[in-house]
Amino acid sequence: MNASLFRRSMRSAPPPGDLTRNDRFAELLVVALAVAALILGLSLRQQSANQTWRYENREAGVEASYPAGWLVDERGDYVVRIRDPYARPFKTQYQIRIIPAGGQTSIRNVLDGLTLQRSTDLAAYRVFSVDEVPVGGAMLTQMSFAFVDADPNPFIQRLPVVVRGMDVVIRDGDRAIVVTYMAAEDVFEENRAAFERFLASLRY
Amino acid sequence: MYALLTDARCTVCGQETTEITGYGGRYYCPTHLHRFSENVPLIWRASTLTFSLMLLAVLGTGIASLILPAETQDAPRLAVSVGYAVLPALIWLLILYQAAARGRLELSPLLPTVFVLAALIAAAVTRPFLSDLLALNLWLTRTSQINRLLGNLLICGPINVFALYAIVRYTVWHTPIFTRRTDGILYALAAGWGYTTAINLMFVIDLGGLTLLSGSLRLVGQTCAYLAPSLVIGFVLGHNRFENLPFYYLPAGVTAAGVLNGALLYAGSELNSTRLDLTASGFSPWPGVVISLLTLAGVFGAVYGLLKRYNALTEARLGHR
Amino acid sequence: MTSSLKNRNTIRWLMGTASLLLLMLTATPLALAQIPEPVVIQRVRQATVFLMQTYEEAGTQVLSCVGSGTLISADGLILTNAHLVTEMGPCRGERIIVALAVHLDDPPVPTYTAELIQADTQFDLAIVRINASLDGSLIDPSTLNLPFVAIGDSSAFAPGNGLTFVGYPDIGASSVAAVQGVITGLTAEKSGSHLSWFRTDSSLGGAMSGGGAFDVSGRLVGVLTSAPATTGNEPGPMCLSIQDSTRDGLITERDACVPIGASVTAIRPIVFAQHLIEAARNHFHLAHKPGIPTVEPIAEPTIGRLFFSPTINDLGLPTRITSTLPSGANSVYLFFDYDNMPPGIPYEIHVTRDGLDMPAFSLGPLAWGGGRRGTWFVGTEGKTWPDGRYEFTILLNAEPVASATLIIGGEADTPAFIDLLFGIPDENGNITMPATLLPANVARFDGQFSYEGMREGQDWTEVWYLDGVEIYRATYLWAGEPSGMWSVRAQNSSGLPLGRYRLELYIGTRLAATGDVTLAGGGQTSPPIIFSNPRLASDISRDGLPAGQVGASGVVMPLGITALYAFVDWDLMPAGVTWTYRWFLDGRLVASRTQTWDAGGVGQNFWMALISDRALPEGQYAIEVLVENRPMFSLTATVGTGTQPLSGIQPESNEVMITGRVVDALTGKGIPGALVFILDVALESPDFTWNEADIHTQAITDRDGRFAFPRGLLRGRYYTAYVFAEGYITKVEDRFTIPRDQPSPTDIVIEMNRP
């Protein structure tokens, strides 16, 4: 590379001829098109990422909007369990349970019952707090917990995962609707907003 | 030909001279009048050679992956992956600079600047924007096939291509260094090589090395996905520099480049999904890279042909020197 | 150089490179891949577990015994030796630990604990069931999906047949071994007659005891058996010190050693485990009326009166007592009396020929299961004994306690008394129904035998014992023919009392013939009538009387009952007699127990029960009772309509079990946490409602990207498969086909692509 040649040519040359109007319009149009495409793409992304499907269970009398593409399961000891098939290593999930709570049953009794059951089924189950939190204008009871999710199959070497969870209890006459959110500890907070939208969409 | 206008300056060097000649809405001094339509075969040859070597490397890697036992393929993975990420661009630059050293080509010092600038913008701006800020990959994997295509066309393509366009446009395009239509190809390819080198290198480092065959082919496919639109950008910028084309010409060309980039990025991964059953793993590395290579070859040929045609047309109109 | 010349050189260079690459492409690739292990062997190895018995001492878990076992069901049933999982012999255990071959090439990983479900100390076989994780958290067996083996048929095997022996060869430091071997012979024993043991000379480590012998299809046809002896607490090559049980900071001779024993040479044919397997699968267990507690004096075990016979008759009696056999002898039986034998004590018969060890003719060490006292025999058939002087030494817990000598290559002892049989003679004085069990209170019974080589004036002696006490002895001078038939008689006009009789016949001072016969029950012919008033009931009262639905043989019981009780009255049953009761369901033996009678000589309402943890399956039930291996009576009952087939050993299903790995297509690394599921058969992706009820089976990958579907897929069908992993393009395949000839299990690889 001839550096001296470079310096000579740049210093002595006058600036190139002015750009024409077409040049300037073209420049602006390129920028505008790029921005427009980006806006279009981002709105498509936003719409697609926030798409929801509606779950209805007339027998239990609940319905809610959940993220599109999640798997629904009604075969367990819950009304419904909705899981994110993509989440790794633990499938982020929402559960809705209906627990009889008539007569003198308090919300605390309901939560204690859940704790007793979970402590036999879930490894290292711990309850962290039970609080009253405002949700949609009402004060609801919320229980935070954690456990370790491990695969019992000894031939599958899944690392145990710390899972955080949150129960929100809604009193509805003589029953308690328990809405549970569970996610791996490292993504719990970032997915919490989606759960709150799910909770806000709940009708009973 | 156009009549002399007393306030016209050479569109290349800005010289005011009585011997200014107009062509296609722009004005040229005698020095630069016949220069902008010169063909520079070495630029094409350098690119052809580099692409051919890439193709041979792909074949050689494919054969090696068939012959070598699976266990021995782990050790050279990182080296081979880094090689695929970095070497093609370096070979291309080496060929050009060897020609320049022999006096057969004039290269501006801005050439490596454009290369490095493109790499830096890819590493520091566009890739973090797409991967981290927009978390685009996470969305693309969760959405439908059509949305993946649209995402690549509307987000990835525009951002990548705008970056490439801006690098060339706002560095060398409006300088006295840009003297030929072919310079558009030269500098756009330099930007493209720098951009794709950075993208590929970061991809390899993030994943800790790729498999001998699939990984190498993926890198080649990605390289094609950035070079093909670079050729288009280089062509439209080169053409637009030396003729006052309608205002939509450049945007159309950049848009076409954006669509090309988005489509090749989409095809490079989507086409590799094959049938899944008990004996087939649901993936083949070949369809994406074959399409990408064929597209690159097609765009290369088209751009070369068009540029040669326009240069010949210009020469015919200007008359031979 | 001109431009065209340069171009030609460039083209030549390119063409040369391309040609070289093409040459490499067409060259035969270097196939350096290893020949993979057959899938059958892999599956069998994976189903073989390492068992450890531990007990707690001063807060430390101390390892007492180790061995192998085989998973025979997906929900965690393991077949192994009884001495490994019961407090039998040197194994003192409170806890049974099950270690699995998580990776076939690595040592086993302790994973579960197990509980004893079924045990038969007579055959040293037991079944345990996995019941909890190591941390003590209980496991629902129905959630387990462990690899297991099918049960084969051992009756078709003979010397020369090939088998694969699988087990852990040492104290858990090695991976599970599969050794190809051959059956080199058969060993007979009193408990199991001719097919008591398969023998092998393969090199099988002592800790492989409890492991399995498999046929070419990977079916379990035998259980490797070896009960290591411990010479007190002294460690050595057969008893390894690997733990600081005394917690003194050192591993010394004072610390408990873990016996692993010498090489395994004996295999218990699977037929002896059938009843245990059926009982375990059907959640059956047996119970019977508790006996009269007796306190046995603590005494050293004794073994005596060793003698040889070339063969045995159908009643298990020696045909001819001799100390010499001619050349080419291929059948030898050793008889001996034993007393005060604790269950599970390691016993061994060590054979030498002219001072050299003969492992092919030796037996053990094995866990003793022949009861406290009696007469035992061990025989080898089908193997020619080379000429020589053989020394048979019986060892108990590695200590020699008795020995006898046999000469092969000489003349058999003459004169001789042959084929001594007992029975009640007919009017012609002939025994038409020889038996070892005759009715008590008969006036007489004979011991009949043939003789040869007797010369006039030869002195011979008959000695009679009743319950071990000599009651008659007489010496005669032979005055009959040199050969023929002779009888000796036991008689009492008031009736011979019940009990165990023994006859010994001597020629000179040499024991020439001997036999035992038991008198019990009533009647005039064999088999005697011991039991009466048999009936069945669905329940039992607190007083031990029939309750619930009661009826005679053929009764129909309602569905939902959890037990069947058989009641009998009994009379004239001497103590110490061996008796057996067996339960059958739809003709298949599902439970069996052999015991020594301890309920007294007479009584009512003796009960024997088949009990289940859940409702008894519908079907035809039968109970058979034997005394001294002679059938006494049987009863039948129908539960429900009796039309449902027994869910015992399942035929091989048409399902293919799928395991696999999900990997990143670009890096080759496994993707943890990926979800793989298969929709119900013939359901395609457009019809999928994203409801998990449509999912046939699913799995989540582990840290290496590995997964295993808990349910199989049917051959000849196609399914829809989905694979999800964050950061990768979802895979959907609507034609995930299972070929009709697809082997099971099948391992697949799924490569995921990044966008």
Q: CA B305 to CA B93: how far, in whole Å? A: 23
Interface size between A and C, measured as CB pairs under 8 A:
80
Q: Residues A115, A63: one domain?
A: yes
Question: Which chain B residues have a beta carbon less than 8 Å from that of A3?
Answer: 109
Q: Residues A38, A59: one domain?
A: no
Question: Which chain C residues have a beta carbon less than 8 Å from that of A73?
Answer: 691-693
**Pick from B9, B12, B247: which is nearest to A29 by CB?**
B247
Whether omega for the bond prior to residue B112 falls within 30 degrees of 0, making it cis, is: no
The residue of chain C nearest to residue B58, with distances taken between CA atoms, is C21
Q: Flag whether pLDDT at B2 surpasses 70.
A: no
Q: Flag whether pLDDT at C227 surpasses 80.
A: yes
Query: What is the reported pLDDT for B58?
Result: 83
ipTM summary value:
0.90
Q: CA C76 to CA C538: how far, in whole Å? A: 30
Q: Residues A89, A146: one domain?
A: yes
Q: Flag whether pLDDT at C36 surpasses 80.
A: no
Neighbours of chain C (3+ CB pairs under 8 A): A, B
Query: What is the reported pLDDT for C31?
Result: 35
pLDDT-derived band at C23 (thresholds 50, 70, 90) equals: very low
Non-local CB neighbours of B93 within 8 Å, separated by 6+ positions: B111, B112, B115, B190, B193
Of B152, B224, B233, B232, nearest in space to B193 by CA: B224
What is the distance in angstroms between the Cα of A144 and the nearest Cα belonging to chain C?
24
Q: Would you call A22 and B25 a contact, using CB atoms and an 8 Å cutoff?
A: yes
Report the share of chain B in percent with pLDDT over 70.
95
What is the distance in angstroms between the Cα of A100 and the nearest Cα belonging to chain B?
37
Each as own residue / partner, the long-range contacts of residues C383-390 (CB below 8 Å, 24 or more positions apart, any chain) are: C383/C159, C383/C184, C383/C185, C383/C330, C384/C328, C384/C329, C384/C330, C385/C325, C385/C329, C385/C330, C385/C332, C385/C361, C386/C353, C387/C327, C388/C353, C388/C354, C389/C353, C389/C354, C390/C351, C390/C352, C390/C353, C390/C358, C390/C361
pLDDT-derived band at C397 (thresholds 50, 70, 90) equals: confident
Residue of C692, C696, C711, C731 to mutate when probing chain A, most A C-beta within 10 A: C692
Question: In this predicted model, what pLDDT tens digit does every residue of C541-592 receive, in sequence order?
Answer: 999 999 998 999 999 999 999 999 999 999 999 888 899 999 999 999 999 9
Query: What is the reported pLDDT for B104?
Result: 86
How many other C-beta atoms lie within 10 A of the C-beta of residue B186? 26
Domain that holds residue A23: 3-46
Q: Would you call C30 and B210 a contact, using CB atoms and an 8 Å cutoff?
A: no
Q: Would you call B282 and C728 a contact, using CB atoms and an 8 Å cutoff?
A: no
Q: Residues A62, A38: one domain?
A: no
How many other C-beta atoms lie within 10 A of the C-beta of residue C364? 24
User: Scanning the structure block, which residue is given the tokens 């076939």?
Assistant: C104
The residue of chain A nearest to residue B145, with distances taken between CA atoms, is A48
Q: Flag whether pLDDT at C185 surpasses 70.
A: yes
Of C182, C230, C233, nearest in space to C206 by CA: C230
Instruction: Supply the CATH number for residue A87's domain.
Output: 3.40.1000.10
Query: What type of residue sits at position C229?
Result: A
Q: Flag whether pLDDT at C20 surpasses 70.
A: no
Non-local CB neighbours of C384 within 8 Å, separated by 6+ positions: C328, C329, C330
Q: Would you call B155 and A41 a contact, using CB atoms and an 8 Å cutoff?
A: yes
pLDDT-derived band at C5 (thresholds 50, 70, 90) equals: low
Whether omega for the bond prior to residue C342 falls within 30 degrees of 0, making it cis, is: no
What is the distance in angstroms between the Cα of C133 and the nearest Cα belonging to chain A?
9
Q: Would you call B107 and A1 a contact, using CB atoms and an 8 Å cutoff?
A: yes
Question: Which chain A residues have a beta carbon less than 8 Å from that of C674?
Answer: 88
Task: Indicate yes or no: pTM above 0.80.
Answer: no
Contact C510, C415 (CB under 8 A): no
Question: Which chain B residues have a beta carbon less than 8 Å from that of A20?
Answer: 25-26, 244
Question: Which chain C residues have a beta carbon less than 8 Å from that of A155?
Answer: 46, 100, 102, 147, 708
User: Scanning the structure block, which residue is given the tokens 């994203």?
Assistant: C690
Of A116, A110, A111, nearest in space to A129 by CA: A111
Question: In this predicted model, what pLDDT tens digit does every residue of C358-395 receive, in sequence order?
Answer: 888 899 899 998 888 899 999 988 788 999 999 999 99
Query: What is the reported pLDDT for C230?
Result: 64
Q: Encoding tokens for residue B297? A: 């070859």
* C691 Cβ under 8 Å from any chain A Cβ: yes
Q: To the nearest whole number, what is the mean pLDDT of chain C?
A: 87
Question: In this predicted model, what pLDDT tens digit does every residue of A164-177 receive, in sequence order?
Answer: 999 999 988 888 99
Contact C268, C191 (CB under 8 A): no
What is the distance in angstroms between the Cα of C105 and the nearest Cα belonging to chain B?
17
Question: In this predicted model, what pLDDT tens digit does every residue of B192-208 receive, in sequence order?
Answer: 999 999 999 999 999 98
Q: Residues A76, A171: one domain?
A: yes
Of B113, B111, B102, B98, nearest in space to B46 by CA: B98
What is the distance in angstroms between the Cα of B147 and the nearest Cα belonging to chain C?
12
Query: What is the reported pLDDT for B106?
Result: 84
Contact C714, C627 (CB under 8 A): no
Q: Residues A76, A158: one domain?
A: yes
Q: Would you call A16 and B12 a contact, using CB atoms and an 8 Å cutoff?
A: yes
Q: Flag whether pLDDT at B321 surpasses 70.
A: no
Q: Residues A178, A111: one domain?
A: yes
Q: Residues A119, A152: one domain?
A: yes
**Pick from A1, A9, A29: which is nearest to B176 by CB?**
A9
Q: Residues A127, A60: one domain?
A: yes
Q: Residues A188, A105: one domain?
A: yes
pLDDT-derived band at B152 (thresholds 50, 70, 90) equals: very high
What is the distance in angstroms between the Cα of C746 and the nearest Cα belonging to chain B?
8
Give the phi and the psi of residue C570 in degrees, each rounded to 5. Answer: -145, 160
pLDDT-derived band at C29 (thresholds 50, 70, 90) equals: very low
Neighbours of chain A (3+ CB pairs under 8 A): B, C
Q: Would you call B250 and A69 a contact, using CB atoms and an 8 Å cutoff?
A: no
Answer with the residue of higher pLDDT: C446 or A104. C446
Residue of A156, A162, A185, A187 to mutate when probing chain C, most C C-beta within 10 A: A156
Residue of C707, C751, C752, C754 to mutate when probing chain B, most B C-beta within 10 A: C751
Question: Which chain A residues have a beta carbon less than 8 Å from that of C701?
Answer: 156, 158
Q: Would you call B67 and C29 a contact, using CB atoms and an 8 Å cutoff?
A: yes
Question: Looking at residues A90-110, what average pLDDT do you find?
Answer: 88
Question: Which chain A residues have a beta carbon less than 8 Å from that of C144?
Answer: 152
Q: Residues A112, A21: one domain?
A: no
* Helices and strands, number each (H, E), in chain B: 12, 4
| Integer-rounded Cα radius of gyration of chain A | 28
Residue of A23, A52, A53, A88 to mutate when probing chain B, most B C-beta within 10 A: A23
Query: What is the reported pLDDT for C650?
Result: 42
What is the distance in angstroms between the Cα of B33 and the nearest Cα belonging to chain C?
28
Burial class (CB in 10 A: 0-12, 13-18, 19+), C411: exposed
Q: Residues A64, A24: one domain?
A: no
Query: What is the reported pLDDT for A150?
Result: 85
The residue of chain A nearest to residue C706, with distances taken between CA atoms, is A156
Q: Would you call B254 and A30 a contact, using CB atoms and an 8 Å cutoff?
A: yes
Report the share of chain B in percent with pLDDT over 90.
56
Q: CA C709 to CA C719: how far, in whole Å? A: 14
pLDDT-derived band at C3 (thresholds 50, 70, 90) equals: low
User: Scanning the structure block, which residue is given the tokens 């830096």?
Assistant: B120
Question: Looking at residues C475-502, what average pLDDT do you find?
Answer: 91
Query: What is the reported pLDDT for C431?
Result: 86
Contact B233, B260 (CB under 8 A): no
Contact C228, C365 (CB under 8 A): yes
Interface size between B and C, measured as CB pairs under 8 A:
103
pLDDT-derived band at C142 (thresholds 50, 70, 90) equals: confident
Provide the domain count of chain A: 2
* C130 Cβ under 8 Å from any chain A Cβ: no
Residue of A20, A45, A88 to mutate when probing chain B, most B C-beta within 10 A: A45
Neighbours of chain B (3+ CB pairs under 8 A): A, C
Question: In this predicted model, what pLDDT tens digit does every residue of B32-69 receive, in sequence order?
Answer: 777 888 888 888 999 999 989 988 988 888 888 888 87
Backbone dihedral region for residue C301 (phi beyond 0: left; psi -120 to 50: alpha; all else: beta): beta
**Residues in a beta bridge with C346:** C367
Query: What is the reported pLDDT for B33?
Result: 78
